[in-house]
Every structure is written in C-alpha cells, then in structure tokens.
Structure 1
C-alpha cells in the first residue's frame, strides 16, 4: 500500500496546479480571435441568377454535428454526454441529414453546427459529404467554434472542436463574409465557448439590387440572456444599415429564442419550460419585418435526456426574419422526429417583390 506523506500530497497538488496553469496558457495563446468582418471564399459559384417575382426556397437546419440523434443527451442541457455515441452513429446521422437536404430541393441551405475536425464527431469533415451530395451548389464555411481542447465534462471531455456555419446556394453570389457577434463570457470560460457569428451572402438580383441572406446562430446558455441581447442589438443595427440601401433581407437560422407567433404549450410535453430558453424580445425591430415560422412543428427538443415523444420539452427556435419587400409564400417545418439531430429543419418559400 502506498502511503502519502504531507510533503508528497503537497507535491502532487503543485504538479496538478502546474498542469492546469500550462494548459490555460496554451489555450489562451491559441484562442481563436476572429476579426470583426472576414471575407470568405466561395467554392463552385453557380452562374444562375436570382430573379424578382420568381419563387425560391431556403432551408435552415442545425444538424447538431451529426451527433445529437434521438438517443443522445448533452451535458450543457443537463445530460451527461459531450460526444456522438460512436463513429458509426455519426456517419449514419450524417448520411440521413444529407439525404434530407437532397430531397428538400431548396435554392439555399443555411446549416449550423457543422463540424470539420472535432473529437465530438470523430474528426469527420462534415462539409465534404454535404457539398459532394449537392454538386450544383456553391458552398461557404465559417468557423464559430475553434478550440484546441474543451476539458469538460471532466470524465468525458468534449475535446477538440472545429465547427461552424455552412451556406449552400444554387444562385450566383458576389460576396460572402463572416460577421463576428458581440458579447463574450469572462476569462477563462470564453476560451472554451463558441465565437458566435453570422455568414452574410450577397446575391445579385434585377435592377442592381441584392438579396442579403444571413446564416445565424445565436448564443444559448448565457445566464439571463445578456449576451443574446448584445447580439440582437448588433443585428438590429446591421439591418438598419442594409435597409438604407433598399436591399432584400432574409435572416435564417437557430435563434435560440422561442420565436414570435409560436407557443411551446401546444406540443403538450411533460417537461417544464427550460431555463436557457427565452421568448424573443418584443422590443426588437424594425417593426415592419415579418417572421416566417411554422408554429405547428417543433424545431428543437431539450437534451437533458434521450428523446422520448411527449416527454422532452419542444419549441420553435429555428426560422426566418424577412424584410417587408420579401413575400412569404409558405413555411414548413419538417417533422423528422429528431432522429438524427436535436433540431428539425425548416423551409421557407419566398418571392422578392
């Protein structure tokens, strides 16, 4: 039997402290600090042009890094897991998600939580199979999560994360850019958090105008919603600038708020309203913008446990906000039963007036 003396215990504690300090120094030095605006590259830019008065569709889908299928939970939501259950399950989820995208036949796709090299998704580059399946689409990727090692949960750490936003387009674009969103957690927590952002795609249309298509993923677990408030204020200012140019705006993605015109109570589940979910603020403007959501199909489930129909809390947090010069033809939530992601995709059909 090994007997530790007081001196031995002190040396062990000092060694652990030294390891933690070295780790924090390493993570701090390698912390991803993106510029406020980054120009992005676009691969396979199509020649097709978007036209006024002709309908087109946009699908938004948080794919949950192809690891949050119906059998999974997540530690930040009260569960215990931080990674996909296996490489095979990740590949199965990704194949099913890709099949959904192929069948949707949308003009544009706005995808969130797409991993390119993460421990949680077995280091699979998820951009490749998705872009390979949609060969006629351009694709643009921007990081919003780039951390060398996330050490929590202690017994099953998330590990390295390289993940972001993926926008695919069947129409020609003139530019793509990543806009950094304000609001950060304090050090050292921010070292292991997402660097929230949105991807702006500029699509030329008739008469010298542009469709500004935004792929958005707001914060979720910020206490009291203080960071989300800063992000929405930034977005509001961005919208006001673009509307001065008389452009068309469609902002889609994962808003991490219960969206206007929706009520989670209609889904009749056993769980109560989770602490992280907030109603979208009434104060957000401009007031003449319209929400395009499907209030009857939940777009997200809670992740404190595996999915059980009628148990997990359900809400609509994925959808679109559009400028008054965009006509909303229809919005359809796709009820996939959360089989391969903790979100369901949402498709909107639109016409530029």
Structure 2
C-alpha cells in the first residue's frame, strides 16, 4: 500500500499539468477547416476580365522579403544554417525591390508565396498589406490564405510567433476566394500542431458575360522524403483541376511546387538526388495540361535560355 499513495500523488500532479499543456498548445496553434472562405479585398470600381482577353500572370516566392544574403537554419539538411532572420534593413530593401519589379513588369495577376503575417522573424509585418499600400493603384483586388500560424513555436531557432500566407494580387475583380487544405506531412501529435499547413488559394475572377477565371495559388511541401505527402498534394490539386475541366472552367495554376519537372532528376548531381523522386510527381500534370515553361523548354535544347 505504501506505493499507491506516491502514485496517486504523482497522478494528482501530472494530470492537471497535462491538461494545462494541452490547453496551452491548443491556444497557441491554428486548426483550419478542410475548406474555408478566404479573405478578399477590392477597392473602388474594378474592371472585369473581357472574353478572349490575353492575361499576364506572374508567380513569385518572395521568401518573406528576406533578400539573398542569408543561409537560414532550415536551408541546410541538418537544420544548422547560420541565420535565423533577415535584418530590418534587408526587409525594407527587398520590399522596395519587389514593388519595383511588379511595377516594371505589371502582370495582370500575381501569385505570391511566403508572405509573412505577424511573424517574429520579420518584425511582425503584414507583408501583403505592405504591398497593397504601395501597389493599390495597380492591384485593387487581393485574396489571401494562411498556411502557417502560431502565437509561439517552441523551436530553439524560432521561439516566437509565426505567420505565412499565400497572396494573390489582381488588376481585375475577384468576387470570392477559397482556402483548400492540402494533405500535411506526417508528424507526431504535438509537433503536428505547430507545423505548416499548406493550402490551395483559389480565387474567382468574373469574365464579362457570365464566365469566370479560376486562379489557383499554392506552395507545396518540401523535405518530404520517405513520405507520400508530395504525391497526395499533387493528386488533390489534379482532382481540383479535373473538376474545373469537367465544368468547362478556365483556370490557371501557379506557385512554388518544390518539385522537379519530369526529366530533370537525371541532370542533378548525385548528392542532390535524395531530395527528389526519380519519377517526378508532376508527370501526370505535365501529361494532361500545358506548362510554362514547357517540358521542351525545361529539359530540351532550349533549357539554357
């Protein structure tokens, strides 16, 4: 009987602590639904697309305006890169350059990845709002979808808030947008609460006469070796595209897919091949739909151009 009392005392202490830990993790993290409405902002009288109109689309992973002078801790396979965040000066400089490029190029639709929102590593900026403040005359409409959000991440190289989202800018009306949750990396119950929750940001742009253009923005996972996460993310995306095709919808998909075009694996140095599948997960998409660049441009004699 002498052992029972210490065990009861231990349980009496441990159970409330466990409940407190669960409540704390729950309060710090974010659990999006499989399908949600995504925020859309349009300012003023925004024109609609015209039937048959040519459209210039840009996709750009802006890496939270960090610039090119860093090797971040997550950039190296061992998670031991030297840098944890960009300087405030580099954040401002890169924002200026992104604004300059967009004004120079003036794409009609811009699909942006890795925009920070209230992240400690970028001074808690809302980077989409910063772009809208500088580019509102050119892009009156925008849609957004978070894919990483936590008030605090207890990783030794983070130890603070995170927030990352997709952003779609448009010179033309966006009537609505949706966030579709992609399959996630396998993880234990605790760390899974803090991990990225990748998504498709699906924006609907009306075309005068009753049709609409569906613009899909995404950022697939990376470092998914030993799992089928990439295949599942591609499959879900392909399922959506086939639904749109079957409904006679016009669509465009862009983003950072973190995958090799078919035929590129053999061109990699041996020490880089472990990050990718020999048969690209994109091959079904490449077979069904036109791609930019085309497979000929990506793998053929035109590759150097």
TM-score, structure 2 length as denominator?
A: 0.80
Aligned to 1:146: 149
SS in structure 1 opposite 2:48? coil
Aligned to 1:293: 293
Name whichever of 173-182 and 222-231 sits farther off. 222-231
Number of residue pairs matched by the alignment = 281
Task: Tell me if structure 2 keeps the 8 A contact 1:68–1:84.
Answer: no
For residue 58 of structure 1, report the CA deviation from its aligned partner.
0.7
SS in structure 2 opposite 1:228? helix
SS in structure 2 opposite 1:56? coil
Aligned to 2:66: 67
For residue 215 of structure 1, report the CA deviation from its aligned partner.
0.5
SS in structure 1 opposite 2:232? helix
Q: Residues 236 and 297 (structure 1 numbering): CA distance in 2 closer, same or farther, change over 3 Å?
A: closer
d(CA) in 2 for partners of 1:48 and 1:260? 38
Unpaired segments of 5 or more residues in structure 2?
1-15
The correspondence for 1:40, drawn from 11, 16, 38, is: 38
Q: CA RMSD for the aligned pairs?
A: 3.3
Task: Tell me if structure 2 keeps the 8 A contact 1:173–1:203.
Answer: yes
SS in structure 1 opposite 2:275? coil
Name whichever of 86-95 and 111-120 sits farther off. 86-95
The answer to whether 1:114 aligns with 2:115 is: yes
The answer to whether 1:101 aligns with 2:98 is: no
Aligned to 1:77: 76
Q: Residues 274 and 287 (structure 1 numbering): CA distance in 2 closer, same or farther, change over 3 Å?
A: closer
For residue 53 of structure 1, report the CA deviation from its aligned partner.
2.7
Aligned to 2:4: none
d(CA) in 1 for partners of 2:82 and 2:246? 46
1:62-105 CA distance string (max 9 Å, x none): 11111252333333533424632322222222222222222221
SS in structure 2 opposite 1:49? coil
Task: Tell me if structure 1 keeps the 8 A contact 2:70–2:83.
Answer: no
The answer to whether 1:178 aligns with 2:179 is: yes
- Greater helix share, structure number: 2
TM-score, structure 1 length as denominator?
A: 0.70
